Structure 1
Amino acid sequence: MKKYLFLLLTIMTITACHEQSDNNQQTEVANISEATIKTTVAAIEKLHPNANAQIINRGVKHAASLWRNVDGTESDFQQFCEKHFIADASQKELMFEKVSRNLEILYGHFNKIALELQRPLHEPMGDIIDIDKTFGGYSAGSHLIEDMYRNKLAFNIALNFPYYSLSEKEQNAATWTRKEWAYARMGDVFTARIPAEILQNVSEVGSASEMYIANYNIYMGQLVDDKMQTYFPEDMILLSHWNLRDEIKSHYSKGADGVQLQGMVYEVMKRIIDQTIPKDVINNGDYQWNPYSNAVYKDGQTIELASEDNGRYQQIINNFHAMRQMDAYTPLNTAVKRAFEGGMEITQADAEQLFVEFMSSDALKQVGELIKQRLGRDLQPWDIWYDGFKARSAIDENTLNNITRTRYPNAKALDDDLAHLLVKLGFTKEKASFLAERIDVDPARGSGHAWGASMKGETAHLRTRIPESGMDYKGYNIAIHEFGHNVEQTISLYDVDYYMLNGVPNTAFTEALAFIFQKRDLELLDMKNDNPEKEALQILDNFWSTYEIMGVSLLDQRMWKWLYHHPEATADELKVAVQQIAIDIWNEFYAPVFGINDQPILAIYSHMINSPIYLSNYAFGHLIQFQVEQYLKTADFAPEVERLFKIGSITPNAWMQAGLGEDISIVSIIKEAQTAAEELSKN
């Protein structure tokens, strides 16, 4: 699951905005010439002859890139810079501390407002009505950065804490002190000016997509085959895609019967992808539905229902148009660049190249043959989610459900147990209590997410689906993943040395810790794994999961590149394109392993709808997880987790070097997977 942060709040930390002036609707234009920049730099150098000339030049250029005619004349700009440039190091540090404190107050409270306004959307608090959706899409902070331009705070900060590009950060990473990193992160606060109405629209469209996915439930007890036979419990309701995927995973211990159930779930997925799914069977248990033939029945009689009619792809189109409106106002002038170079601080081209290299590895065929051997059958498309390398794969899910429902009948039971779980993982009682007191557990409408605090004194929120019968194993497994996010969110907020460095380089790093927690879920249920093949199995589980999510991530990347090449595309055209891209990726990277062509399964992921350009974080998360896990083999788990996530939000490779002494790489995971596959093939 993703690390859930309110979309607008994320935008606020890396962008800035300004509307047209109040009454006269004056058109905003950049009005600072190169000549004025040179004159201003010279004037400041004269005022402060001992100051660093490069810092003066960078600060003036950055402030000039943000200044508009509505802010004042060129003369006003020069006077402002001369007055507010800080040459004295102690005064600059004092300003930094005060700005940091105030940004924490602002970001923290706006995050809290968003959390509270969206509670009715994310938690089971009764029926959702239109007013809930309106408040949920409202962003109280959408004018914050605009206001900071109006009162000139933004220019003061940009002048003294200028922006560094990704390449510049990487060049300086080896020599910067922690304070210099923090100064650079303050420079990331103001990088562009995006009108508040555009940010508000992004927020509203994103909220609508969240709701669309949160209500995309399939009533599994209503699925029938050609003989009108049902196969799933009458009360089973699964959210797409997460619960559908996990349902497939849960049947690997059931042999041929499991394959039949998996096949039916896969048919449901294909109907969702191609949008032939009848609209009225979504989030509705009034009808029986045959996903093979697409026939619908009411009281045993065949009836006609309209298909969803590309609603899934219209959500993507809506997000694309909302985010594309930002392009003209930022130096990272596409949503793809903002997601990768701005958010992940990895270029899209580098990510794609890494993924292609990984998915072209011969080790995948070797592992695929091993899975085929273990299953005793040919591979099927849904075996991208093969779960047989996990210890739980040999345990009947009903057994696991009984354990989790007994232990966690409600959210409070899990909340009360958080400190105990952390002690099991090796945290001291004091640290476990500290962390647990700053994490609250809430029931979720959807599959769940982790929402971190943005200021000290507030708590992170762990949300997972908890039926009236208690938390089933799927919900528990997701909850432990989200718990990992919450632990990272709390450590990287409370223990980091500078507020401007709170968090992690990108969400792949919080996903890494979430995966590390999630794989220990049985251990936390006091179910020990004494299998001598445990380490080899864990390596292969990560390797195969990385393979699956890299294909999905590559689809997400190529879909967004396609959208930028076809900006006026309709939902129907996008649907056709996404299915073709998914099939092309499958045929290139999966068909050689699976022996099956033309499968669209990679297009099922809900993140493509409600978390635009996010999926690549999971792929990097698996790589980082593997490298961190390898490191933790010879380290004390809990203290090292604390150390690693106190590093904070420096760039990804700088974090890896500081934490593990190596860059992000696919070399070790491929090598270890080959060795593990060879070991298991002999047994």
Structure 2
Amino acid sequence: MRKFLILFSAWLVLSSFGDKQGSDVSNIKTNALSQLVNDMTNTNSIEDNTLLAKGVKHAANLWRESDGTEAEFEAFCKENYIADPVERELVFNKISRNIEIITGHFNKITLDLLEPVHLNTFEQHTIDNQFGAYSVGAHWQDDFYKNKIAFIIALNFPPFSLEEKEKLAGEWTRQEWAYARLGDYFTARVPAELLQNANKAAAGSDVYIMDYNIYVGHLTDEAGKRFFPEDKVLLSHWNLRDEIKANYANSKDGLEKQKIIYQVMQRIISQEIPEKVINSGDFEWDPYANVVYKNGKTIEATPEPNERYQQILNNFHANKAIDPYYPGESTFIERQYAGAKEISHENTEKIFTDFLRSEETKQVGELIKKRLGRDLEPFDIWYDGFKARSGMDESKLDAQTRKLYPNAAALEADLSNLLVKLGYDKARAKFLADHIAVDPARGSGHAWGGAKKGQKAHLRTRISEKGMDYKGYNIAIHEFGHNVEQTISLYDVDNFTMNGVPNTAFTEALAFIFQKRDMVLLERNVESAEKDALKKLDLFWSAYEIMGVSVLDIRVWKWLYANPEANAAQLRDATMQIAKEVWNEFYAPVYGMKDQTILAVYSHMLNSPLYLSNYAFGNVIEFQLEEQLKGKSFPNEVDRIFKQGRLTPNQWMVEATGNDLSAQPLLKAAKEALEEIK
């Protein structure tokens, strides 16, 4: 996951087009603006004053009494408007350079402050979390309003709404795109303390999740039987999910292992999990009977006090406090979708629910049932049997990856070689690898990109004392895909304000593409006549899983807005009920059972609010990109596509593949794959 977007760029992720800042409203009368624009038009001999009018109006919306009188605003506009296109380009380049310097150094400070929180090489103390929650960049925009730089940008490089961007996307030059993206930096005035609070809530949830380990070696069933090595520890929910995936290849006791982990997940969701067994190996726990033992004797164990749902509430209240500053996108839901993702939540839900209701889900479900030789279980949302490695003994994969990567330094030293295996020439592979650092993570791992040329992207991955097991390697290759995108879209995009991708779903897509090639990188190519069809079905089933979770995430936040005074227990009950409703609507017809809550287990709901849709869109984008990559040079196409930078999502896809962004090609491919498998 591309974590830095959530922790560092809160001010940009929350962008919108507001004209009201709580009680501190603009002191510029609207009826005075037309005359001001006319005066400036005549003075500067402008034929088309559309952009001027947009800039004046936007700057007026942001102007406050503390910034000056109405007369001072008019004087400011006349003095600072840049009519000459040559001078405008010069000023743009200077602003772009300086913003890169400022945000780049803030990124570096934030990354360094979080090292004791994120890396397992530090002895952890609560003071580390306090520094990790500090948002060093929270005040810079506020400062830019005070020194008037923000108003110079708002006046000369005004923002465009999503509707305007989509309408003009195909007509804009790269320079016009870069100017528009500069406009996205100053769209509302949010008090720095509110941004700090949002960052603090996010960091607190991150810390909570990173230490949510389950000592599965101490799990027992009612007969006292253990299923895992005593020292096995799995992070919720990522490693628990991956352990379920790994056991599809285990014909001996794989199903029993999957069932006991599923039971653990149920206890986490319902908050019936005993607090003593979280991140502790001092006890034995039977999750079926929910009984805790110590030295063979039953002991009293109180449940976790709804902390899971309190973390969601903390994020909700911190972000809701920012709502009044964005009347155009007056909820966190709208800011995350129409704002950050540039795809409305209404459109997102429609795309996902249409997919979830498709007949293909039932047909693929029947195929999985046949392949398993049993009825479907709720945890089969993570069915992993379509992958080439699905029949492999994971212990052998563990042995190989542990030998290759005993520590983070070994993986970092091998990055260039991995890229060569994907088709990159040695010089290009070295360039990309030299701009990526590998760090040993305390949690499951994440990718954190540079924000200024000269900075490295960081691949933070979990490696035990025994070395990197296959699960860790698989996740690390996913994060490596993020790092490659982060490097290309920072160093190779033609202008800093265009750096990056339209939204994080696009970086997830490349991460998925890399992750699917993990066997190639281990030189374990498993050829099959049905390989291509199976890959399509695997991607289809992954999309089916994560789209439902994404719908749940959106609906939980809608419930929060409808019930803003709810406590953690009420949110727990509501989340479980909504999870059942989503399951009954989209999964019960395939699984043949109702009222399952498994969709609510995702840790992203706590530490990355409304992020999950990026994975779902990532699956859609991944498929379209994989189709584009067929028969072409992998490195050349990846470089070409990700050099585009931050266009709108649909325009990016059109220029990448020649087609609109859509889930329909994936549905069509699944139908074709089912015919081929038959």
Q: 1:137 aligns with which of 127, 133, 139?
A: 133
Residue 45 of structure 1 pairs with residue 36 of structure 2: no
Higher mean C-alpha deviation, range 586-595 or range 37-46: 37-46
Alignment of 1:250-649 (within 5 A): 250-255=246-251, 257-330=253-326, 331-649=328-646
How far did residue 560 of structure 1 move? 0.6
Q: Note closer, same or farther for the CA distance 1:582–1:2 as it changes in structure 2 (3 Å cut).
A: farther
Query: Offset of 1:332 from its aligned partner?
Result: 1.6
Structure 1 contact 17–146 (Cα < 8 Å) conserved:
no
Question: 1:527-565, CA deviations, whole angstroms, 9 ceiling, x for partnerless residues?
Answer: 112111110110000000000000000000101111111
- Contact kept, 8 Å, 2:13 with 2:335, in 1: the verdict is no
Provide the rounded CA distance (Å) in 1 between the counterparts of 2:498 and 2:122: 39
Query: CA separation in 1, counterparts of 2:121 and 2:246?
Result: 29
Q: Which letter maps to 1:5? A: L
For residues 324 and 221 of structure 1, the distance between their equivalents in structure 2, rounded to whole angstroms, comes to: 41
Q: Which secondary structure state, in structure 1, belongs to the residue aligned with residue 458 of structure 2?
A: strand
On the 8 A contact 1:14/1:189 being kept in 2, the answer is no
- With 224-233 and 452-461 compared, the bigger mean Cα shift is at 224-233
For 1:95, the equivalent position in structure 2 comes to: 91
**Which letter does structure 1 place at the counterpart of 2:41?**
E
Offset of 1:9 from its aligned partner? 2.1
Taking the aligned partners of 2:104 and 2:537, their CA distance within structure 1 comes to: 40
Contact 1:13 1:189 in 2 (8 A): no
Instruction: Compute the displacement of 1:585 (Å).
Output: 0.7
Structure 1 contact 509–621 (Cα < 8 Å) conserved: yes
Distance 1:165 1:321 in 2: 26
Instruction: Please tell me whether residue 161 in structure 1 is matched to residue 157 in structure 2.
Output: yes
CA shift, 1:110, in A, is 0.3
Tell me which residue corresponds to 2:58. 62
Q: How far is the alpha carbon of 1:514 from its aligned partner?
A: 0.2
- Which residue does the alignment assign to 1:195? 191
Corresponding residue of 2:123: 127
User: Aligned equivalents of 1:498 and 1:13: distance in 2?
Assistant: 19
Taking structure 2 as the reference length, the TM-score comes to 0.98
Deviation at 1:256, TM superposition (A): 5.8
Shift of 1:15: 4.3
Residue from 149, 162, 165 that aligns with 2:145: 149
Indicate the SS of the match to 1:461: strand
One-letter amino acid of the counterpart of residue 373, structure 1? K
Alpha-carbon shift at residue 227 of structure 1 (Å): 1.2
User: Aligned partners of 1:11 and 1:46: how far apart in 2?
Assistant: 36
Q: 1:235-274 CA distances to partner (integer Å, 9 max, x unpaired)?
A: 1110000000000000001236211110000000000000
- The root-mean-square deviation of aligned C-alpha atoms, in Å, is 1.6
**What CA distance in whole angstroms lies between the structure 2 residues aligned with 1:577 and 1:127?**
38
Q: Contact (CA 8 Å) 1:555, 1:582: kept in 2 or not?
A: yes
CA distance in 2, matches of 1:161, 1:51: 18
- Range with bigger deviation, 254-263 or 646-655: 254-263
Query: Deviation per CA, 1:286-312, whole angstroms, max 9, x where unpaired?
Result: 111100000001111101111002100
Aligned residue for 2:293, secondary structure, equals strand
- The 1:16/1:389 distance shift into structure 2, 3 A limit, reads closer
Q: 1:80 aligns with which of 76, 80, 95?
A: 76
Q: Which amino acid aligns with 1:266?
A: Y
Q: What SS does the aligned partner of 2:9 have?
A: helix
Structure 2 counterparts to residues 662-681 of structure 1, below 5 A: 662-680=659-677
C-alpha distance in 2, partners of 1:243/1:14? Answer: 31
Shift in Å, 1:17 = 13
Contact 1:110 1:140 in 2 (8 A): yes
> Which position in structure 1 is the counterpart of 2:29?
33
SS in 1 for 2:459: strand
1:248 corresponds to which letter in structure 2? I
Q: CA distance change for structure 1 residues 522 and 605 in 2, over 3 Å: closer, same or farther?
A: same
Aligned pairs for 1:171-186 within 5 A: 171-186=167-182
1:654 aligned to which of 631, 637, 651: 651
Q: Once the two structures are superposed, what CA deviation does each residue of 1:430-474 show, in whole Å capped at 9, x if it has no partner? A: 110000000000010000000000000000000110001000000
Unpaired segments of 5 or more residues in structure 1? none
**What is the letter of the counterpart of residue 472 of structure 1?**
D
The 1:94–1:282 alpha-carbon spacing in structure 2 relative to 1, beyond 3 Å, is same
CA contact (8 A) 1:411 1:443 kept: yes
Contact 1:358 1:666 (C-alpha < 8 Å) held by counterparts: yes
Q: Which amino acid aligns with 2:307?
A: G
Pair 17,183 (structure 1): closer, same or farther in 2 beyond 3 Å:
closer
| Aligned-partner SS, 1:416 | helix
1:139 partner amino acid: S
**Corresponding letter in the other structure for 2:5:** L
CA distance in 2, matches of 1:545, 1:35: 54
Q: Aligned to 2:438, what secondary structure does the other structure show?
A: strand
Whether the 8 Å CA contact 1:14–1:188 is kept in 2: the answer is: no
* Structure 1: distance between partners of 2:380 and 2:324: 43
Q: Is the 8 A contact 1:220 1:234 kept in 2?
A: yes
The residue matched to 2:525 in structure 1 has which SS?
A: coil
CA contact (8 A) 1:449 1:482 kept: yes
Q: Is the 2:552–2:579 contact (alpha carbons within 8 Å) kept by the matching residues of 1?
A: yes
Paired letter, 1:122: H
Name structure 2 gaps, 5 residues minimum: none
| Aligned equivalents of 2:71, 2:659: Cα separation in 1 | 49
* Equivalent residue letter for 2:196: Q
Once the two structures are overlaid, the 10-residue window that deviates more, 29-38 or 418-427, is: 29-38
- Quote the Cα distance in structure 1 between the aligned partners of 2:645 and 2:69: 39
TM-score, normalisation: structure 1: 0.97
Matches of 2:403 and 2:89, distance apart in 1: 54
Distance 1:8 1:152, change over 3 A: same
Deviation at 1:13, TM superposition (A): 6.6
Q: Distance in 2 between matches of 1:286 and 1:127?
A: 21
State the distance in 2 between where 1:53 and 1:13 align.
30
Deviation track 1:618-652 (CA, whole Å, cap 9, x = no partner) reads: 00000000010011113211100000000000100
Q: Could you say which residue in structure 2 is the equivalent of 1:9?
A: 9
Distance across 2 between alignment mates of 1:262 and 1:605: 17
Contact 1:8/1:199 (<8 A) preserved: no
Measured after TM superposition, the shift of residue 141 of structure 1 is 1.1
Conservation of the 8 A alpha-carbon contact between 1:3 and 1:507? no
Shift of 1:213: 0.3
Identity, in percent, stands at 57
